[in-house]
């Protein structure tokens, strides 16, 4: 049986994370006080780093397969160490960023149990961020990043929604539906990335992954379990949730999830360096197939709630008939069911960036018609955000020939902190950077 070792980062850094938690996770004490009430079978949360003992000692993929894994970043090839540093920093950023997003709408949950599940997930995201800080603090990264541990920790903890490394974590939540769909889709990307990083040639990274993966399983349930309940309620005619609302939030988050794997043409370098076993396109395709199965499961539950006479087998056949033939069966129409958008829909990173492709794969030639399509398929609240406005402005510039799609995806404005890591640098402004992509493609939040 595997054994877990626990570690705490140095006291001053631990205190900094606790201070951050007081600001962005104010319900933490409530969670601990009520842990046994909501999660009686699970060990109580502890803020620490977990490292799995007994992990493979040799590199499992890439050019150095079979050689000893690295325990120090400085022993790695400089380029590999830079990719690894970017990955750890990005993951730390997104763990903390996810908490900031979820906190916006946590209080809007309709069910107390679902709210408690999201709150636990947020606490575990805090621990995942702490785990990444542990990796950055316990090794000497300054020759690689040019930053001391103090500077790195301050930079990461100073990030807010709008200044995180990956785009999906710079989007404000508008309702509790965002909380749930985000867990079901974005945390599922995290599961893929954690599983790939479990074979990392950097031993401390690999040994950090198993416990994070165990916790990630709960994060996925935090999304899927409420969605299963919601589609049943929608089928029963509840005024509290509809399939249309769920559908529009799928359209909002699926494009961002696909982009988190990195450019479809990239990822070979990570494989070569032994940091991950799959290129971006392969992992993205597996993910897309998996979320298709999640949507199918939700549709089957909806059908059986709408037509109680259906058995498991007849529900499968009925769903296939509706999807294949476009038939209406006992009042259930194809448009009543959930579906994934085309993988090219509403993309602003990767190969399909700024392609005008609709949810069903239809191609648009007129930019205003394309934008009207987006308005009709995305949630009302999201369309009122700065994030959507930035996309619209860039899309129109691409359509006018003022920018190429490649230029537009590199110049999407992001909220960046002015003045680096200096404590007095608290101001922020919108800037268009020449390059906002990471040197390593496919870097992502780990849930």
Spell out the domain ranges in the chain. Answer: 4-431
Q: Is 80 exceeded by the pLDDT of residue 34?
A: yes
**What pLDDT shows up at residue 159?**
85
**What pLDDT shows up at residue 417?**
33
**What pLDDT shows up at residue 445?**
44
Higher pLDDT, 198 or 413: 198
Cα–Cα distance, 400 to 367 (Å, whole number): 9
**What pLDDT shows up at residue 272?**
96
**What pLDDT shows up at residue 164?**
63
Say which range, 244-248, 329-333, 432-436, has the weakest mean pLDDT: 432-436
Cα–Cα distance, 362 to 212 (Å, whole number): 39
Q: Is 50 exceeded by the pLDDT of residue 203?
A: yes
Which pair of structure tokens corresponds to residue 435? 């390059």
In angstroms, the Cα distances linking 186 to 63, 82, 168, 408 are 30, 25, 8, 24
pLDDT tens-digit map of 365-408: 999 999 999 999 999 999 888 889 999 999 999 999 999 999 99
Contact 89, 101 (CB under 8 A): no
**What pLDDT shows up at residue 76?**
97
Q: What is the mean pLDDT of residues 204-213?
A: 96
Say which range, 6-20, 236-250, 430-444, has the weakest mean pLDDT: 430-444
**What pLDDT shows up at residue 172?**
84
pLDDT tens-digit map of 310-320: 999 999 999 99
Q: What is the mean pLDDT of residues 257-276?
A: 94
Select from 130, 129, 128 the least CA-distant residue to 9.
130
Say which range, 75-79, 126-130, 158-162, 238-242, has the weakest mean pLDDT: 158-162
**What pLDDT shows up at residue 411?**
76
What is the dotted CATH code of the domain comprising 4-431? 1.10.620.20
Computed over every residue of the chain, the mean pLDDT equals 90
Say what angle helices 78-105 and 176-197 make with each other, to 10 degrees. Answer: 160
- 442 pLDDT band, cuts 50/70/90, is very low
Q: What is the mean pLDDT of residues 430-436?
A: 35
Cα–Cα distance, 103 to 98 (Å, whole number): 9
């Amino acid at each position: 049986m595997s054994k877990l070792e626990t570690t705490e980062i140095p006291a001053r850094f631990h205190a900094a994370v606790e201070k951050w938690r007081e600001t962005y996770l104010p319900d933490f004490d409530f969670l601990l006080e009520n842990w046994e009430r909501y999660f009686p079978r699970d060990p109580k949360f502890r803020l620490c780093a977990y490292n799995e003992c007994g992990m493979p000692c040799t590199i499992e993929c890439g050019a150095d397969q079979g050689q000893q894994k690295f325990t120090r970043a400085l022993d790695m090839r400089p380029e590999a160490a830079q990719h690894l540093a970017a990955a750890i920093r990005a993951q730390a950023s997104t763990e903390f960023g996810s908490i900031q997003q979820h906190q916006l709408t946590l209080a809007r949950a309709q069910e107390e149990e679902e709210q408690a599940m999201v709150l636990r997930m947020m606490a575990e995201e805090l621990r995942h961020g702490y785990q990444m800080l542990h990796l950055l603090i316990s090794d000497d990264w300054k020759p690689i990043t040019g930053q001391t541990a103090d500077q790195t920790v301050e930079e990461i903890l100073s990030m807010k929604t709008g200044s995180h490394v990956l785009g999906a974590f710079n989007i404000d939540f508008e309702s509790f539906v965002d909380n749930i769909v985000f867990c079901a889709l974005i945390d599922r990307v995290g599961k893929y990335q954690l599983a790939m990083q479990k074979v990392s040639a950097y031993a401390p990274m690999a040994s950090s992954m198993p416990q994070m993966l165990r916790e990630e399983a709960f994060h996925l349930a935090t999304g899927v379990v409420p969605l299963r309940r919601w589609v049943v309620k929608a089928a029963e005619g509840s005024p509290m949730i509809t399939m249309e609302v769920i559908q529009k939030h799928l359209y909002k988050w699926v494009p961002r999830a696909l982009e988190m794997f990195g450019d479809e043409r990239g990822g070979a370098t990570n494989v070569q360096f032994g940091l991950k076993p799959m290129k971006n396109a392969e992992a993205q395709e597996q993910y897309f197939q998996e979320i298709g199965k999640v949507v199918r499961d939700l549709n089957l539950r909806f059908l059986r709630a709408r037509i109680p006479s259906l058995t498991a087998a007849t529900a499968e056949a009925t769903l296939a008939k509706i999807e294949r033939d476009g038939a209406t069966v006992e009042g259930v129409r194809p448009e009543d069911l959930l579906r994934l958008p085309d993988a090219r829909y509403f993309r602003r990173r990767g190969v399909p960036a700024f392609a005008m492709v609709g949810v069903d794969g239809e191609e648009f030639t007129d930019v205003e018609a394309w934008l009207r399509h987006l308005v009709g398929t995305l949630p009302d609240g999201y369309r009122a955000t700065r994030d959507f406005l930035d996309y619209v402005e860039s899309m129109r510039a691409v359509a006018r020939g003022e920018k190429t799609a490649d230029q537009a995806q590199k110049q999407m404005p992001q909220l960046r902190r002015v003045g680096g890591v200096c404590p007095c640098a608290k101001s922020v402004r919108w800037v268009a950077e020449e390059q906002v992509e990471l040197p390593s493609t496919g870097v992502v939040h780990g849930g």
